[in-house]
Structure 1
């Protein structure tokens, strides 16, 4: 098992990542999986398990509620060829469909594949079209009790528009294997001993809380996070900025006698003299609404 240590750790981490939380704004790598103890989003029966033989040399423990499929790397190779697609629609949807995400926002996998910044507006203005061409060599697939339809493979068009070398940017990506091997055939032999996760399928958390009050608010927050992609440490302030604030007290037009109590106690007014003074402490004032009552009023 010595030469398959890396493969054993990758397979074990992949199984342990099932049913846990994942930030889809990140690339599909196991290190971005939420691995806090007891943080599984879906409860699984960890007492009833079975062994999954991936290679003749080692096995991993698999929950009985999950099933697996595995095959030889070369025989199970899948050719993925995508024609030139417009940035904002078809290529984004292609990556999202593979991840089982219905939203049309670019995911971390998409941004990582094309070395984008993550800002949809900036990347779209600098990109005219995109194309993806490559090979998948799946060694094993661990899926939940339900399965998804296979992605339709579209052939590469036989002809296309002429592009000069300055108009095309080629990005080369490899997952798994020995990165020091430059030759493709030699690198292919190292995939079995050093595999990596090449694809993940997700279930939105909002699909698991159908009867929970406030589901629409959580869905709206997730949509904002996927669209604008703020840093996770600034997410709280980003969400607070989305809330509609009342920057000044609303004028009460109801007739009748009422007490003149301050509606906003953080603001203190002083009208002694020709100037109007406002004491706000360390709070920021972004707007002010002033009502003058009486038969005649002048502002100088």
Structure 2
């Protein structure tokens, strides 16, 4: 049995199976060994001209003739290119898929940092679809065992198990053939105009797909023409670093990725490669249906849909997903507007020295003593002492309260930071990192810049002036409450919030330490974030 025949058999088996669209779109990433949608059970022989006859194929599987096209995109922004890829796969929205991240060599986690670093994207490719396979089920329904696996309540462990077993979508169509594509990524550091990006890519594509140029081969250019081409586009002058990997050229903030799927990868000449596609077919052009769209009226659908949306948006590692989901609770700043004594109010919260919150501590006690003037700030880090543990087993301490207080030493008043720690038994700290205010890197801390959210994973991007897009899908962006009245205090205190949330993979960070610092006459806060792991 030829490898080509086996590849087509594999493609037929994948129709109707689950798929996690955060992974690259390849047959090997289909979930499980059985279809997750209902089929009649009737089998037939499917004859594909030029490829043989395939037995025991469900009658719902149909095929039609493919086509050959050359696809050139405009020079697009990050979200525009992501949306284009999603439209080809019948995916909704602009959140990057696993295919998008794979072909453009992105990190594959939360898309905000990638979008912040990317100026534009473009592609030019030749797509050969020998035939298309698709599943015709009217209506499309999930198998009973899949419906039974839907958790009826918010259960992160059960949701994680569901995604591990069934994925996020159902494969309902794909094409067999091959593709030969050049992908271009321009970073914010590049100064090359967009028109030059388009010019260089079009010329490179013409050389690859309509000429006889091979990879690699020395280009013969005149001095006049050579001055117009960015060094990154000189892919003909470079040797592939490793056999089997697509050549990647990077220079001056431009990344050019040359990639093939299907065909004989050892053939570098495009015209010769086209002839090998019928004997070395691969799956391209996947189309999907969301699993949650097939769960109308099933208890727990809302919980599963919310969890899958979070998973697709932030893409935490699947091994960390249950911990990630445990931390996705509503966050709110206090005091809220009606808590201020601005006059009579029927719905104002009664005066209380404590603020209730969850999940790790029942109350945050707030001191209402007026803050006095000070001359100095104590900048010693405040960290937990392992000797605090009263248990012989490993344990961790997390911050569940904070207090500022002024202590007098002779004639000098010193501002101190106090932290309230809570012991979490059965867990240990697996990783820690310090985060600082974004204004430390931007060199400014005006009131207009106070809505930034900084994290240690994004500090270098802030330093380079690349503002990370807001990834959160929440309707209300709960930034710190705006100051009311005089802003004199802003001259002395940096009020930027410092967070590490779902956008910072794996997304379940806890505060385990902090310190005050003074820079350029301003008091700033440094925060130590940590990941907890259960003791095995």
Give the TM-score band, short-chain normalised. 0.7 to 0.9
Partner of 1:233: 319
Higher mean C-alpha deviation, range 227-236 or range 60-69: 60-69
Partner of 2:80: 90
Change in CA separation of 1:170 and 1:283 when aligned onto 2, cut-off 3 Å: closer
Quick one: which of 119, 125, 130 aligns to 1:128? 119
3-state SS, counterpart of residue 195 of structure 2: coil
Q: Distance in 1 between matches of 2:194 and 2:362?
A: 62
Change in CA separation of 1:249 and 1:116 when aligned onto 2, cut-off 3 Å: closer
Quick one: which of 100, 103, 107 aligns to 2:90? 100
Partner of 2:360: 247
Q: Distance in 2 between matches of 1:27 and 1:33?
A: 10
Does residue 55 of structure 1 match 2:49? yes
Tell me if structure 2 keeps the 8 A contact 1:247–1:286: no
Structure 1 unpaired stretches of 5+: 149-158, 252-277, 290-300
Tell me if structure 2 keeps the 8 A contact 1:17–1:35: no
3-state SS, counterpart of residue 28 of structure 1: coil
Superposed displacement of residue 92, structure 1? 0.6
Change in CA separation of 1:128 and 1:288 when aligned onto 2, cut-off 3 Å: closer
**TM value normalised by structure 2:** 0.42
Q: Distance in 2 between matches of 1:181 and 1:279?
A: 64
Tell me if structure 2 keeps the 8 A contact 1:49–1:63: yes
Runs of 4+, deviation exceeding 6 Å? none
Superposed displacement of residue 250, structure 1? 5.2
Superposed displacement of residue 80, structure 1? 1.3
Tell me if structure 1 keeps the 8 A contact 2:80–2:94: no
- Deviation sequence 1:56-99 (CA, Å, 0-9, x none): 3522243112211135xxxx201211101111x21111111111
**TM value normalised by structure 1:** 0.73
Partner of 2:300: 214
Partner of 1:162: 196
Q: Distance in 2 between matches of 1:23 and 1:126?
A: 26
3-state SS, counterpart of residue 201 of structure 1: strand
Alignment: residue pair count: 243
Q: Distance in 2 between matches of 1:15 and 1:57?
A: 13
Superposed displacement of residue 45, structure 1? 2.7
Partner of 1:173: 259
- Deviation sequence 1:155-184 (CA, Å, 0-9, x none): xxxx96235613532211111111111111
Does residue 70 of structure 1 match 2:65? yes
More strand per residue: 2
Partner of 1:145: 136
3-state SS, counterpart of residue 197 of structure 1: strand
Superposed displacement of residue 200, structure 1? 0.7
Root mean square deviation, CA, Å: 2.6
Q: Distance in 2 between matches of 1:188 and 1:205?
A: 36
